[in-house]
Structure 1
Amino acid sequence: MDKAVGGNGLSDSTDGYRFTSTDDTLPAGKAAYRFTVTGPDGKPVTAFAVDQTKRLHFYAIRSDLTGFQHIHPTMAANGTWTANLSALAPGSWRMFATFTPDSGTGKGTAFVLSRTVTVPGTATKTPLPAAAASTTVDGYTVTVNGELMANMEHPLTVRVSKGGKPVTDLQPYLDTYAHLTAFHEGDAAFAHLHPTTMVNGDQGGPDLSFHAELPKSGNWRLFLQFQTSGTLHTAALTLNVG
């Protein structure tokens, strides 16, 4: 991307670009969420630059930072996107769209916009797990190393191991060996931590580097996605930012 818009993704509009949807509520369980990105001229945007192999990345997160979903929706010819969601639990959800227009006044600018959706039913809040340097998912241990301060650039290193041994068979996923996203406790502010470890062949790991700049202090919930043997794994852990 050539340039990026600052901000935390908590608005549905920036610089004339708007994330619109008629879906204010969705049923629990599986659901299709339809939306459109409109430009400063009010018309649907249909030309998007490719970022990490996709023209648009879509995320869904519940207000207590559970239920994380990272989806690559499909776009119809008229600019309407459809994101097929799964496992929606009752409560308030925030839907994020990250994209870069490939034409118009916003060409080359990375945007992140969001809208909230209500899933009717009895909502049970899950407490955020305490901050920890490591977590385990599907037998893999993910360890994060880096002391982050709000609004400051810091390197962040992630190590993936299994059974006490370093993992070296990470497969490329979205043009990297791991995809890392973060959401802030309380308001679900969004941050994408960009990988700095280049893909070099079909097997990577165990150490992965990221460029981290989180805009707020407090707890952030990190979601690391990586792939082995054709299976996508999602590890989640809480990181405290000073």
Structure 2
Amino acid sequence: MSLRTRTRRTPARALALTAGTAALSLALAACGSDAMSGMDHGASPAATSAAATAGGGHQGHQMPGADAASPATADAADAPGLAAERNGYRLTSTAGTLTAGAPAEYRFTVTGPDGRPVTAFRTDQTKRMHFYAVRSDLTGFQHLHPEMAGDGTWTAPLAALTAGTWRVYASFIPDSGAGRGTGLVLSRTVTVPGEGAAAAAELPAATGTATVDGYTVTVEGTPVAGKAGELKVTVSRDGKPVTDLQPYLETFAHLTAFHAGDQAFAHLHPETKAEAGGTGGPSLPFHAELPAAGDWRLFLQFQTGGQLHTAGLTLKVG
């Protein structure tokens, strides 16, 4: 599976579980990030946000463009990254639709327990905000680092989107309020009208390799739900090991995953941290517990020669 290369103009994080399962637990050895130990990707929403759904319904009012709560979607908020509100922090946006086939700007704010826009965020992997967009069939992955205005409004410059339903995720660590220092992943859905909106691409079969821009990425390991294990990623080119991986967001690779069916969010880091100016590869170990069985769509990002590459593959968890 090959994905189009993205430049480093806007170059980003937790393995998720399906609805109704227990909270995600990641074991990330030696990644050097204090923030990860405090990550809370959302097992059971707080009592004040029990009505939040995958798109998020807020008690007392409904934001323009927000997803309405329903019995079919209410439990989805229990899966990591699928709630718009968590622990009093809420992802809000008036953008319910975006235009297909052209670059678009998605504007949003994060409000705190006091209802005011949050403007203080801690830096995590060199960025204050990591923003992701993925279509409901797990195609069209985008990973951005938006800019924040003084009033707390973030603007994410999305590349052209295909018609369909997309989910956008905001990953951040507030540096104020009751949740100060605890990382969160919140999300909403957005509709992109147009021809082919209802057509879903078939999820590629699980495989241990993917190619992108002439590079071959190999993932080794047989993760079992609920048990700790290791995934080893190896990068090669023309059959030769690649050893000139450049630091990207403080590591030599960035791995994001989405669970097939519910789009629950997941993020892993290599066990080794990249030193500024150094190079790495060809092997990158990832240590994690995967509590849910099923197919996961993995997106591995790595950098060589100043160019960012994104490879996608499907991983089956038993």
Aligned to 1:97, what secondary structure does the other structure show? strand
Alignment counterpart, residue 87 of structure 1, candidates 133, 151, 160: 160
Which residue of structure 2 lines up, in the alignment, with residue 162 of structure 1?
237
Task: Determine if the alignment matches structure 1 residue 48 to structure 2 residue 124.
Answer: no
**Contact 1:46 1:78 survives alignment (8 Å):** yes
State the partner residue of 1:18: 90
Match of 1:57 among 114, 130, 137: 130
Q: Which runs of 5+ in 2 are unaligned?
A: 1-34, 43-79
State the Cα deviation string for residues 184-203 of structure 1 (Å, max 9, x = none).
11111100012212213421
Structure 1: state its 5+ residue gaps. none
Higher relative contact order (CA 8 A, sep 6+): 2
Write the deviation string for residues 6-34 of structure 1: whole angstroms up to 9, x where unpaired: 43100001100000000010001210000
Structure-2 separation of matches of 1:184 and 1:149: 15
SS at structure 2 position matched to 1:148: coil
1:177 corresponds to 2:252 = yes
Alignment of 1:1-242 (within 5 A): 1=35, 2-7=37-42, 8-28=80-100, 29-122=102-195, 123=197, 124-200=199-275, 201-242=277-318
**TM-score (ref. length: structure 1):** 0.97
| Structure 2 SS opposite 1:87 | coil
- After superposing on structure 2, the runs of 4+ consecutive aligned residues of structure 1 that deviate more than 6 Å are none
Taking the aligned partners of 2:134 and 2:145, their CA distance within structure 1 comes to 15
d(CA) in 1 for partners of 2:157 and 2:141? 13
Q: TM-score when scaled to structure 2?
A: 0.74
Counterpart CA distance in 2 for 1:226 and 1:84 is 21
- Residue pair 2:253, 2:269 contacting (<8 A) in 1 also: no
**Cα RMSD for the two superposed structures:** 1.1
- Residues 251, 269 of structure 2: 8 Å contact kept: no
Contact 1:171–1:203 (Cα < 8 Å) also in 2: yes
